[in-house]
Structure 1
């Protein structure tokens, strides 16, 4: 037998045996996503956060079915007394009682979760879209485009996020949930833009991008097929964290009176704002919406931090 052929067969056998051993013990041959998921499944932090998010999303989706009463109807108005500052207490059919107008508190909390999820998710998606546009422009082209985009981002980041959101919300003549979404999304755009720009710049100097350009691949294909997919990991993690920030910012705007003026459709921040005058005598009116906001924001934060740790190469074991 030819020595070269024997050597080739031996190399093939070693390669096959090595791949089999690596796959059997799981020490090699695992993709980044599979490795991250393996670590996430063993993370109590991720499991707690994911459980909170799943419960929140399910409640938001089925809240119209779970709510026993119309949240806009003042079914317990006869039990509201302005003289002795009393409101309806928990009773049969109304587990949490009513608010200061006699409306069912539990039904308002359940349907408020739907509005809170809608505002936070829509604002984050819009902020992510705007940040992707700025990040791609700055990171892919560089030069004067990068300079102009980053100076705009620097101006936006120089203003505290909540103050910027309040300023944007106050610009609208009539307040609504749309104005809250626009204000929260605008605050998120420079955060996503700067993050994507940094990861795109790192990809510009990578070997596979340099090889694609050396082979004459068009700039559009280099950006959207080679650079952008490999730069989205940190942005996705940041989007999970920004969902928690969006919930808090939207609640803050509604608390300050910059949300929807119509209280017939409940929202947690709006409920918290309307309960501030009764905090001394009836603190539960503020406790329930504030508790919901804190728990849900904590869930998204725990998931985001777990994703960041799982995707960080420095923290792999």
Structure 2
């Protein structure tokens, strides 16, 4: 019969544990409590630790949002790579031109061999959508990589050197960030003598540079006051070695996550510039934004010409966004559960 007084119950529990620890057998006490050896009291589980990447992957592989985003992204990349081989027809071949009637039937409809029909020049719409994914991927990846390279240079200068260089770089970044991104991209693309695919890539890359620069600069400033950097300085390690061996590698995590999000923005901005006529004027190599622009004059009678490329852009941008947001939450210590 257990004591009724709470103090007596706690005292009885302590006595039972002490009696159980004194038994060589290590079995349970008469009161049913588990025996605890004195040597094992306060012992720490010595299971091997898990790295940040491994811990993040454990959460990501159980995250349905990340899995959906990764599936869309991987499918888009694979489709863009193999699209020239799986396209049923040449995207620039006017195979249905004999069915184009400017007054009565300007857009050939779906038919055997052409499941989505054709465009106003008699070209297979499905083939142009497939090959257009490759051009969209090239523009998005190239613009993101150029923007990342420029942002890394400015971020390293501002975060590693500091002082007047930091102030100058950040004021230039603030000026770029004060201008709406699409307006800045349109202004840069309009300066080109002739619009081309590289015009779009450079315009979008310039827009992304301040985003990467500010993010990397903030991460490197946090690393400057960390213990390992202070220890390296105390040991007399050169600044260049400290920056590129200690500060920069530990500052790239947020930048890599931001890259996946910027890819989605780059694809949307590239489509917007091509839609406005600032992209590649040669439609022999189709691109989704360019296809949207050409579909304007037929949007009322034949909306599918704009719906298909628009859905492709939305789906791909959604995939990159879902994957990027999931990566950000998985790698952020504040959001761990």
Instruction: Give the alignment's TM-score, normalised by structure 1.
Output: 0.92
How many positions carry a matched residue from both structures?
Answer: 298
Stretches of structure 1 that go unaligned for 5 or more consecutive residues are: 1-12, 24-28
Q: Distance in 2 between matches of 1:71 and 1:95?
A: 14
* Partner deviation per Cα, 1:257-284 (whole Å, 9 max, x = no partner): 0000101110000000000111100000
Alignment of 1:34-73 (within 5 A): 34-73=54-93
Contact 2:99–2:105 (Cα < 8 Å) also in 1: no
What displacement does 1:73 show?
Answer: 1.2
Distance in 1 separating the partners of 2:308 and 2:292: 9
The separation in 2 between residues aligned to 1:18 and 1:86, in whole angstroms, is: 74
3-state SS of paired residue (2:50): coil
Deviation sequence 1:240-296 (CA, Å, 0-9, x none): 000000000000000000000101110000000000111100000000000000000
Structure 2 length normalisation: TM-score? 0.86
> Is 1:203 aligned to 2:223, yes or no?
yes
Q: What is the Cα deviation at residue 133 of structure 1?
A: 0.2
Kindly provide the CA deviation profile for residues 119-147 of structure 1, in whole angstroms up to 9, marking residues without a partner as x: 00000000000000000000011100100
Residue 133 (structure 1) aligned to one of 153, 164, 169? 153
Q: Distance in 1 between matches of 2:144 and 2:296?
A: 28
Residue 184 of structure 1: aligned partner = 204
Cα distance in 1 between the residues matched to 2:128 and 2:305: 11
CA distance in 1, matches of 2:238, 2:77: 42
Moved more, 234-243 or 77-86: 77-86
* CA distance in 2 between partners of 1:85 and 1:142 (Å): 65
Q: Tell me what 2:262 maps to.
A: 242
Between Structure 1 and Structure 2, the one with more helix by share is 1
Which residue of 2 is the match for residue 115 of structure 1? Answer: 135
- Displacement after TM superposition at 1:84 (Å): 2.0
Q: Does the CA contact (< 8 Å) of 2:60 and 2:66 recur in 1?
A: yes
Q: CA RMSD in A?
A: 1.5
Task: Indicate whether 1:172 and 2:192 are aligned.
Answer: yes
1:301 aligns with 2:301: no
Matched, 1:160 2:190: no
Query: 1:18 aligned to 45, 51, 74, which one?
Result: 45
Decide which structure has the larger Cα Rg and report it: 2
Gaps of 5+ in 2: 1-39
Deviation at 1:83, TM superposition (A): 0.9
SS at match of 1:18: coil
